[in-house]
A = this chain, B = another copy of it.
């Protein structure tokens, strides 16, 4: 009855094979760079978050958030630093300034 390998039924290997397989998967998941949501929390009820601003309203300088973690979104409030540290990332804002300023 059943398939024999080295005098044991094949079915007896299922738990160890499953455990090893899952352990490999878990390790791979833990080590690979995680790619997923860029925006975990801002206006998630919107289908697409696009912000607009008139150039005349910018003033002498401005920094726009590109990490999607700012409490002042769409402006940068420095939250990119905590995100970069936590996730091993390297994002930062786009900064605009007036030459004349």
Q: Is A89 an interface residue (CB 8 A)?
A: yes
Shortest Cβ gap from A8 to chain B (Å):
14
Shortest Cβ gap from A54 to chain B (Å):
5
Chain B residues with Cβ below 8 Å from A96 are 52-55, 58
The quantity of this chain's copies bound in the complex is 2
Q: Is the interface of A mostly helix, strand, loop or mixed?
A: mixed
Q: Which of A46, A51, A64, A96 has the most CB of B within 10 A?
A: A96
Q: How large is the interface on A (under 10, 10 to 19, 20 to 34, 35 or more residues)?
A: 35 or more
Distance, CA A92 to CA B38, complexed state (A):
10
Interface string of A17-31 (1 = CB under 8 A from B): 011001101100100
